[in-house]
Amino acid sequence: MIKFMLFLALLLFVYIPTKEAIHMYQQNRYQQERYFYWIKQTIQRKAPYIGKYVLAFLPILGLLILYNHKNITILFTLLLFIYSYLCMKIDDHKKYIKPLVYTHRVQRLLIAYYLFYSVFFYFYIQWEIRIQIISLPLIFVGPWFLLFLIAAGMLPIEKQIRGYYVKDARKMLQAHTNLSTIGITGSYGKTSVKTILQSLLCDEYYSFMTPHSYNNLMGITISIRTLLKPLHEIFICEMGADHIHEIQELAQFVQPQMAVITAIGPQHLQTFQTMENIIQEKMSLAESLPAHGIAFLNKDDPHITKYRLRNKCKVVWFGIHEDADYRACHIRYSKDGTQFQIKHKEETYDVKTQLLGEHNVLNILAAVAVAHTLHISFEKLASIIAQLPYVEHRLQVKQMPNYTLIDNAYNSNPKGASYSLQVLKQMPHKRILVTPGFIDLGDITKQEHHTFAKQMAHCCDIVILVGIKQTKDIVDGLKEARFPKQCIHVVSTVQEAFQLLDKVAQKEDTVLIENDLPDAFNH
Amino acid sequence: MKIQVGVMFGGASVEHEISILSAMQVMKALDHHKYDIIPIYIAKDKEMYTGEAFKEIEQYKDITTLLKNKKTYHFVKKQQYFYLEQKHGWMNKKAYRIDIVFPILHGTNGEDGSIQGYLKTIGIPFCQSDVCACAIGQDKVIMKKLLSYAKIPIAPWFYTTVEEVNKSSLWLEKAEHLGYPLIIKPANLGSSIGIQLVENQEQLYKAIIEAFAYDEKVVVEKVIENMREVNASVLGDREHYEVSCLEEVHKHDLILSYEDKYQGSGKSKGMVSTSREIPAVLSFEQENTIKELAKQVAYEMEISGVVRIDFLIDVDHDTVLVNEMNTIPGSLAFYLWEPKDLTFTDLLDRILTIALKQYRRKEKMIVSYETNILKDYDQRQGLKGKG
């Protein structure tokens, strides 16, 4: 009976560490390399505070002294219950920006963990009490390391399940003979172009798109399985990649008739390794098109124009600065939006939108190129553009009680960030920037942060940097540019940043949040 | 992949059998290359049935036998798909995927917006007019009020209710004011049921009381002694309407009775066998007036798909009056479009395309917000009580 209670107490004891481990695995996109990197970083970060942890486990050592006591097991069990309670209480108070989502996959991991624990603790409770007590701290940190084993064990099952879903989605696509698919890829601008294109097309065609930022194999699979209806005529599919071959695989899966390549930049350079790889991979979407397909390409991007396309399909160019098929000119920016003209063949059309920034002009242009090619008149397009809503987290303007917020909290890149800063520059009164800097740029992060800092100095009045270590180069860059020191604030968490904002921002001020800030990357 | 069209017919209405006839015609005329047809028969007790047997007109000679041992069905939604699934059963419940519903129901519970409302609540696309247009089209009182507002000419009229008839004699005075003979119609229903011609007060009272068996509101119209009945069909949606060929209906009695309409001599059953003249012989002005009025009525009533609008030409005063509107006309008025080189099959295709456009547009509209205002709800202060 006592042993059974001990068994239960142990299962309860490991719950919080297990949950945290799975949570961080989820935040690291279920990728073992990223998770391993995160564990390494966490150990390095927490090493100075080892004393605190030792203190927490002192009562355990106390028990060791009493090992001979006849009720030692009961005491041990009670102590475990107390620890479990404290862990849960602490966890209750932790505020995560992105809490753990109990997806089916997470549930499977939990089941796998507890199966392991059931077997392990069965034997554990039969060990000599002193050994039990001493190994307790190890059991506490165990889950974080055990994850590698459990995840590896689950991999074949996950693969099977994924494979089934992908096959199912592929079958659905093939059965649907009337569907035209438009693939959209590029280093940035994908979600914006996709969202704008959907707005432009949905009046005339029954079209649907991959929602939010679902742009990998599983995201696209879920989209098809839950959204594709027999009545649909057009599928707008966003395709993202951080390794080579990923776009090719997606193109083979979805088999688009049209492709849009928004722009090419150094995003995910760390995982792609070279710029050539990035260019090759993005352009492979255009190369996967059938002979009667149409590729819509950005004429302003030298990476794209210099590439020799290995496909005889039709190409339609869009852009601002060169002679594109769909060209934007007479662009005027203001804090309420943008106005410009679109030139196509001999015709010129005026458009205006509440969307901000030069890159949005390009995004609209790309979408117009596709919609117009699909026989939607310019008059209609202009009226829809006038009513385009903000895209979630892409320079999305929100009125907060104490300031105007421009939410650009998504995967930032150097080019996009410079556009955002230009937008911030035009705002009246105090211009405040909140950012963790760039993530995922690998080796070139340092120089890009320097450039970013220099731009900031011209465009902002106050800068709030999130993450002491990762923004160090930005601070240096700002100091070099003689940016007033009292206007530079460095905080550790997003919550602190917002608290600071409430103090420094006033009614007419504008705050720009540049780049995503989830919990795993905050330090 | 073929689109699965659920053709819905029957219904709890006095026009149940007529609806079956119309539906049989529609199911035969739909393009089998583009669409897969699933019959959805609504019995008089409101249960839904389906199956190959329900596509044959002969089976309906004895409906009781037809329904014996047949399973009942209902709509279910699984992810983004709609199915007509067997209600009862353990395993292997038969289910048919329905992508769009084509209601061919006439009269109450079909043409009055109720079935449209049901389908809209489920979220499945459907053909023909939306809830509002159907409801108004079926309620003669509201329709006449709307047409009056839009200054569209109608016969002099008034309406009375069960309450008014019991409490006062206002209605009698209004009747005297209009002048006999008068025609009495229940506000709802259709197909000439409950309709009577009256020539004096006694007959008026009797007819109104009889009409109250069908509805609580009754319309009283002045009879146009010397008149011609001309019908027009309109196809389209708010963006664009077109008018069909016009027909003139020749009657045996002063009113086309139920017998006239459906049991008249003629080779095929249904609307096609009454005495009709297509195209109607009219002057250029008359034809033009009717066509323009038809489009105007369609626009004011916000109809969608195909409708049939019935007009009365007051020969003595040479005016055109709007009489009635049918949002789901018998046989979908295909015989009025054939002379214009629009085949029944193409007409149906157009109706389906219009329906999809309507559905797409409605889907885009914001009908709910992500935020939850109940989050700040305080029982004592209510939602508006926040400091």
* Closest CB from A175, A225, A231 relative to B3: A231
Contact B3 A227 (CB under 8 A): no
A166 is a domain residue: no
Residue A117 clears pLDDT 70, i.e. is over it: yes
Residues whose CB is less than 8 angstroms from the CB of residue B88 and which lie 6 or more positions away in sequence, other chains included: B71, B72
How far from B331 is each of A420, B270, B334, CA to CA, in Å? 61, 8, 6
A96: confidence class by pLDDT, cuts 50, 70, 90? confident
B80 contacts A231? CB cut-off 8 A: no
pLDDT at residue A521 in the model: 44
The bridge status of strand A337-344 relative to strand A347-353 is antiparallel
Q: Give the separation between CA A125 and CA A85, rounded to whole angstroms.
A: 21
- Give the residue-averaged pLDDT of A44-64: 84
Q: Could you tell me which of A262, A257, A245, A261 has the C-alpha nearest to residue A288?
A: A257
CB contact under 8 A, A203 and B125: no
Least confident range of A242-256, A283-297, A325-339, B144-158? A325-339
- Sorting pLDDT into bands at 50, 70 and 90, what band is A523? very low
**pTM for the structure as a whole:** 0.79
Q: Average of pLDDT values for B263-271?
A: 44
The reply to whether A373 and A448 lie within a common domain is no
Say how far apart CA B61 and CA B42 lie, in whole Å.
16
Residues A249 and A377 in one domain: yes
Q: Are A343 and A327 in contact (CB under 8 A)?
A: yes
Fold for the domain defined by B156-222: Dna Ligase; domain 1 (3.30.1490)
What is the span of the domain harbouring residue A136? 2-159
When pLDDT is averaged across residues B271-281 and rounded to a whole number, the result is: 73
* Residue A361 falls inside a structural domain: yes
Which residues of chain A does B99 touch, with a Cβ-Cβ cutoff of 8 Å? Answer: 229-231
Q: What is the average pLDDT across B275-297?
A: 92
A249-253, B18-22, B234-238, B252-256: least confidently modelled range: B252-256
Residue B385 has pLDDT above 50, yes or no: no
**Given B79, B100, B361, which is nearest A231 (Cβ)?**
B100
Element (H, E) at B137: helix B131-138
CA of B104 vs chain A CAs: smallest distance (Å): 21
CATH of the domain at A328: 3.40.1190.10
Q: Which residues of chain A lie closer than 8 angstroms to B125, CB-CB? A: 231
Within this chain, do residues A7 and A153 fall inside the same structural domain, yes or no?
Answer: yes
Report the chain B residue with the minimal C-alpha distance to residue A233: B356
**Is residue A391 situated within a structural domain?**
no
Which tokens is A122 given?
A: 């069965």
Question: Between chains, do B81 and A229 touch, taking CB under 8 Å as contact?
Answer: yes
Task: Please answer yes or no on whether A227 and B80 come within 8 Å at the CB atom.
Answer: yes
Does residue A262 share a domain with residue A378? yes
Q: Output DSSP code: residue A403.
A: S
Instruction: Indicate yes or no: CB of B360 within 8 angstroms of CB of A206.
Output: yes
Contact between A250 and A199 under an 8 Å Cβ cutoff? The reply is no
Q: Give the residue-averaged pLDDT of B39-68.
A: 93
Q: Are residues A235 and A269 in the same domain?
A: yes
State the nearest Cα–Cα gap between A203 and chain B, in angstroms: 6
Q: Are residue A345 and residue A485 in the same domain, yes or no?
A: no
SS3 B66: helix
Residues of B in contact with A176 (CB under 8 A): 1
Over residues A405-461, the pLDDT tens digits come to 898 888 778 888 888 898 888 888 899 999 988 877 777 888 889 999 999 999 999
From CA B1, how far away is CA A232, in angstroms rounded? 11
Same fold, B3-126 and B227-364: no
Give percent above pLDDT 90 in chain A: 54
Based on the domain organization, do A352 and A432 belong to the same domain? no
My answer on whether A17 and A139 are in the same domain is yes
A304 in the same domain as A181: yes
Q: How far apart are the first and last CA of chain A?
A: 46
Per-residue pLDDT tens over the stretch B330-344? 889 999 999 999 999
Domain spanning B227-364: CATH superfamily: ATP-grasp fold, B domain (3.30.470.20)
Residues A187 and A319 in one domain: yes
Average pLDDT, chain A: 89
What count of CB pairs under 8 Å joins A to B? 29
Q: Give the residue from B124, B360, B361, B362 with the most A CB atoms within 10 Å of its CB, the best one to mutate.
A: B360
A166 vs A188, which has greater pLDDT? Answer: A166
Asked whether residue A126 carries a pLDDT value surpassing 70, the answer given is yes
Residue A359 and residue A416 in contact, taking contact as beta carbons nearer than 8 Å: yes
- Within 8 A of B356 by CB-CB distance, chain A residues are 206, 231
The pair of three-digit structure tokens given for residue A131, joined into one six-digit string: 């050994």
- Specify the DSSP class assigned to residue B274: S
- Topology of the domain covering B3-126: Rossmann fold (3.40.50)
Hey, where are the domains in chain B?
Answer: 3-126, 156-222, 227-364
What pLDDT score does A273 carry? 83
The answer to whether position A503 is within a domain reads yes
Share of chain B above pLDDT 90, in %: 62
Q: Are A65 and A75 in contact (CB under 8 A)?
A: no
**Minimum Cα–Cα distance from B100: chain A residue:** A231
Residue A476 lies in a domain: yes
Summarize pLDDT for B166-200 with one digit per residue, the tens.
Answer: 888 888 889 989 988 999 999 986 667 788 899 98
Instruction: Answer whether residue A294 shows pLDDT above 80.
Output: yes
- How far, in Å, CA of B276 to CA of A503, rounded? 82
Asked if A230 lies within 8 A of B125 by C-beta distance, the reply is no
Comparing A31-40, A60-69, B297-306, B375-384, the range with the smallest average pLDDT is B375-384
Q: Chain B closest CA to A212's CA: distance in Å?
A: 15
Nearest one of A472, A469, A485 to A523, comparing CA atoms: A469
Query: Among A233, A232, A289, A282, which Cα is nearest to A257's?
Result: A289
Mutate which of A171, A199, A206 to test chain B, going by most B C-beta atoms within 10 A? A206
Flag whether pLDDT at A522 surpasses 70.
Answer: no
Structural domain includes residue A169: no
Q: Do B3 and A230 touch (CB under 8 A)?
A: yes
Inter-chain touch A178–B1, beta carbons under 8 Å? yes
Cα B6 from Cα B3, distance rounded (Å) = 10
**What secondary structure letter does DSSP report for A128?**
-
Statement to judge: residues A305 and A355 lie in one domain = yes
Does residue A373 sit in the same domain as residue A239?
yes
Q: Which of A446-455, B253-262, B347-356 has the lowest mean pLDDT?
A: B253-262
> Which member of A175, A206, A225 has the closest CB to residue B1?
A175
Q: Do A231 and B356 touch (CB under 8 A)?
A: yes
CA A372 → CA A294, A331, A364, B367, distances in Å?
13, 20, 12, 29
Range from A389-393, B119-123, B351-355 carrying the lowest mean pLDDT: A389-393
The token duo for A120 is: 């392990």
Closest approach of A497 to chain B, Cα-based (Å): 24
Q: Which residues of B lie closer than 8 Å to A, measured between beta carbons?
A: 1, 3-4, 79-81, 97, 99-100, 125, 356, 360-361, 364
- Going by DSSP bridges, is the β-strand pair B157-161/B100-103 parallel, antiparallel, or unpaired? unpaired
Q: How many domains does chain A have?
A: 3
Q: Which helix (H) or strand (E) holds A283?
A: helix A275-287
